[in-house]
């Protein structure tokens, strides 16, 4: 099945009632015909379901559909994107190991790498993800994993996944890619050399602002060795209800991402023609610093546009406060267009120097472009520009 078909039909487990829509198995456990059947389930000789912390039919459908989309051998769903990131890292690491990560990370991913892992004896080094020499220099004999996001949040830098994978593999480590900003449709990290891909399904996969969720995708061997038991015993399971919502989200993912990406390109071009805007960052625009790399490893520029308004924080606030259609929210990937001021929200925890190091200024706004009519979005942005 091609992606658009797999996202509608892939992984469906139809019950004895032959329902059209995927069944929502809102159940904690499962019953066994006999004690012998229970014994066989626990032994693993009968592959059926045991308990929804381990596996559940609705969650299994979501995992199978995601694995088909990603081209991965195996997938495991989690309660949130951060549960996926935490499990993907903690499941494969132990005290004495070392991790290298790009500095420009989603705030909570930075917490996992910088604060949480070191508390358990896993050292970490942060590098400028666009500088391959820094990746090379950061590798140590005990480096076991590397972590990156591309495009980055909120600066939309594009990191060279094949080149970084080569450096990481040469050092005997594994590369984990958080592919939220690119979506599984516009970038295929496993084909580019990553060993493990993680998503916050909260973003484009739901795409309609309802449920939290996450997913980890990798080889069968990686999932069986590092992830399966970690999730089963520590319990960050995706709710069957959320898995059902995510399955319905996947059906329309290609339609939404295509519309959002087309809108985002138009928004970026529109903003770049305006005097009040100091800089526009969009991976598929000719003036993006890594546009050639972006065109090589992505099939679209994505659904986010980041830009700097002239006049710093006060001007950025005036711009966003003047918008009627675009909502102020730190979320992204939604059908609704959402705008946020990273310096005072998602990246408030960083010092001004740390923000400067990853290019976040006081005039920066990050716009997650939705599926609305482009003309309404442009008119709304004109309201923001007028307020500057």
Ligand X SMILES: *Cc1c(COP(=O)(O)O)cnc(C)c1O
Residues that bind ligand X (CB under 6 A): 80-82, 85, 106, 108-109, 149, 153, 178, 180-181, 200, 202-203, 212, 214
Please state the three-class secondary structure of 289-339 as a single string: CCHHHHHHHCCCCCCEEEEEECCHHHHHHHHHHCCCCCEECCCCCCCCCEE
What gap in Å lies between CA 171 and CA 138, rounded to an integer?
A: 10
State in angstroms the smallest separation of the CB of 82 from ligand X. Answer: 4
DSSP string, 172-231: T-EEEEE-TTTHHHH--TTTTT-SEEEEETTTTTT-SS----EEEEE-HHHIIIIIHHHH
State in angstroms the smallest separation of the CB of 366 from ligand X. Answer: 11
Lookup: tokens for 74? 């195996």
Residue 164, SS3 per DSSP: helix
Question: Which DSSP category does 67 fall into?
Answer: H
State in angstroms the smallest separation of the CB of 156 from ligand X. Answer: 12
DSSP string, 349-376: TS-HHHHHHTT--TTEEEEE--SS-HHH
For ligand X, give the closer residue by CB, 108 or 327: 108
State in angstroms the smallest separation of the CB of 294 from ligand X. Answer: 17
State in angstroms the smallest separation of the CB of 80 from ligand X. Answer: 3
Closest-approach residue to ligand X (CB): 81
Lookup: tokens for 304? 């986010």
What gap in Å lies between CA 160 and CA 168, rounded to an integer?
A: 12
For ligand X, give the closer residue by CB, 148 or 268: 148
For ligand X, give the closer residue by CB, 125 or 346: 346
Are 227 and 76 in contact, with CB atoms under 8 Å apart? yes
State in angstroms the smallest separation of the CB of 71 from ligand X. Answer: 20
Facing residues of 74 across strands?
218
For ligand X, give the closer residue by CB, 153 or 337: 153
Q: Which residues contact 35 (CB under 8 A, 6 or more apart)?
A: none
State in angstroms the smallest separation of the CB of 65 from ligand X. Answer: 18
Are 63 and 77 in contact, with CB atoms under 8 Å apart? yes
State in angstroms the smallest separation of the CB of 212 from ligand X. Answer: 5
Lookup: tokens for 215? 């997913």
Lookup: tokens for 108? 């909570």
What gap in Å lies between CA 324 and CA 320, rounded to an integer?
A: 9
For ligand X, give the closer residue by CB, 156 or 267: 156
Residue with tokens 């592959």: 47
């Amino acid at each position: 099945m091609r992606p658009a078909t797999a996202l509608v039909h892939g992984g469906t487990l139809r019950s004895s009632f032959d329902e059209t829509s995927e069944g929502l198995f809102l159940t904690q456990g499962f019953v066994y015909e006999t004690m012998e059947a229970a014994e066989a389930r626990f032994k693993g000789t009968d592959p059926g379901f045991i308990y929804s912390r381990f596996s559940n039919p609705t969650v299994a459908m979501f995992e199978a559909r995601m694995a088909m989309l990603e081209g991965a051998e195996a997938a495991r769903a989690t309660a949130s994107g951060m549960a996926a990131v935490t499990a993907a890292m903690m499941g494969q690491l132990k005290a004495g190991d070392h991790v290298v990560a790009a500095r420009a990370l989603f705030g909570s991913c930075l917490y996992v790498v910088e604060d949480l892992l070191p508390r358990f004896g896993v050292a970490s080094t942060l590098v400028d993800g666009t500088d391959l020499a820094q990746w090379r220099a950061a590798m140590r004999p005990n480096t076991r994993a590397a972590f990156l996001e591309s495009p980055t949040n909120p600066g939309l830098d594009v990191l060279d996944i094949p080149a970084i994978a080569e450096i990481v593999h040469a050092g005997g480590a594994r590369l984990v890619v958080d592919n939220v900003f690119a979506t599984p449709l516009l970038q295929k990290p496993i084909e580019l050399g990553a060993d493990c891909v993680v998503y916050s399904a909260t973003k484009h996969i739901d795409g309609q602002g309802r449920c939290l969720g996450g997913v980890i995708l990798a080889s069968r061997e990686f999932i069986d060795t590092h992830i399966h038991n970690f999730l089963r015993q520590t319990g960050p399971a995706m709710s069957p209800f959320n898995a059902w919502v995510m399955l319905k989200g996947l059906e329309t993912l290609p339609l939404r991402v295509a519309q959002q990406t087309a809108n985002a390109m138009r928004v970026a071009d529109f903003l770049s023609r305006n005097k009040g805007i100091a800089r526009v960052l969009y991976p598929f625009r000719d003036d993006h610093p890594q546009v050639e790399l972006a065109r090589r490893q992505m099939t679209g520029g994505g659904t986010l546009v980041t830009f700097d308004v002239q006049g710093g924080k006060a001007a950025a606030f005036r711009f966003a406060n003047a918008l009627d259609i675009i909502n102020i929210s730190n979320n992204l990937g939604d059908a609704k267009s959402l705008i946020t001021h990273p310096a005072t929200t998602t990246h408030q925890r960083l010092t001004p120097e740390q923000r400067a190091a990853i290019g976040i200024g006081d005039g920066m706004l990050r716009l997650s472009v939705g599926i609305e009519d482009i003309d309404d979005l442009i008119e709304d942005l004109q309201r923001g520009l007028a307020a500057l």
